[in-house]
Amino acid sequence: MGRASKYTEELRERSVRMVAEIRPDYRSQWAAICQVAGKLGIGSPETVRTWVRRAEVDKGDRPGVTTDQAAEVARLKRENAELRRANEILKAAAIFFGAELDRPGRR
C-alpha cells in the first residue's frame, strides 16, 4: 500500500518507455528526461528521473532494491510488529493469570 500519487501507473510506464525510445536522439539521458517531462506535463523532470531509475533497478540494469523486494520487506516489518504486539499481550496475560494462581483462593 504505497502513498497516493497524482500520476497514474500508466503515465509512469509511458514516460519511462518514452525516455528509452528518444534517448539516442539526445546528448544525455537527463535531456531526454526533461523533454519527456515537458511533453507529458509532468511537473518536474526529477519525477521522471526517479521513475526511470526505479525501472532500471527493477529490470536489473542498475543495482538496488527492487520494488517487489521493498514491498516484501515492508510486509514483513508490518507482520513482525504485529507479532511483537501479540507477544506482549500474551506475556501480560501470562503474568496476570500466573499471579491469580499464586493467590490463596476462596475456593
For the stretch 22-70, pLDDT in tens is 999 999 999 999 999 999 999 999 999 999 999 999 999 999 999 999 9
Fold (CATH) for 1-64: Arc Repressor Mutant, subunit A (1.10.10)
What is the Cα–Cα distance from 58 to 55, expressed in whole angstroms?
A: 5
As a whole-number percent, the residues of the chain with pLDDT over 90 amount to 82
For the chain, domain boundaries: 1-64, 65-107
Q: Which of 55, 34, 35 is nearest to 45 (CA)?
A: 34
For the stretch 29-39, pLDDT in tens is 999 999 999 99
